[in-house]
Amino acid sequence: MAFVKIDASPNTTEVEQGTTVVLVCRVVGVPYGSEVTYSWTCASGSTCDNPSEPSQAGSRRQYNNTVIVDIVYERDNGDYQCNVSNRSDGVILGSDTHRISVTGLFTSLYD
């Protein structure tokens, strides 16, 4: 069995409210010719893909090993987990967690 390393470095990203964050998950040690599938779990525990809201605050888009969080807001604080599995049999090869820490002034849209 090959050694597989999943890396979502850096493990913590501090960003200001209103900016965009790009998280990347890298895999090292996958046997030649193997194909992998990436899935992300966001801070809310849901999948990180809601392409129907690309310009709204907190919109998350997943492209293979990358997640883009548009217009980061306080609710986007937390852990984002990258899971990598073997495409042919679905066996999970590993996972890594990346934390987003949002800074800045938090105000409600309804104040």
Place 5 in a pLDDT band, splitting at 50, 70 and 90: low
Q: In this predicted model, which residue has the larger pLDDT, 7 or 78?
A: 78
Please write the tens of the pLDDT for every residue from 30-83: 777 778 888 888 877 777 765 544 445 567 888 888 888 888 888 888 888 888
Q: What is the value of pTM for the model shown?
A: 0.75
Q: What is the pLDDT of residue 88?
A: 81
Q: What is the pLDDT of residue 111?
A: 45
Residue 37: name the closest of 73, 77, 84, 78 by CA: 84
Label each residue of the chain as H, E or C: CCCCEEECCCCEEEEECCCCEEEECEEECCCCCCCEEEEEECCCCCECCCCCCCCCCCCEEEECCEEEECCCCHHHCEEEEEEEEECCCCCEEEEEEEEEEEECCCCCCCC
Above pLDDT 90, what percent of the chain? 0
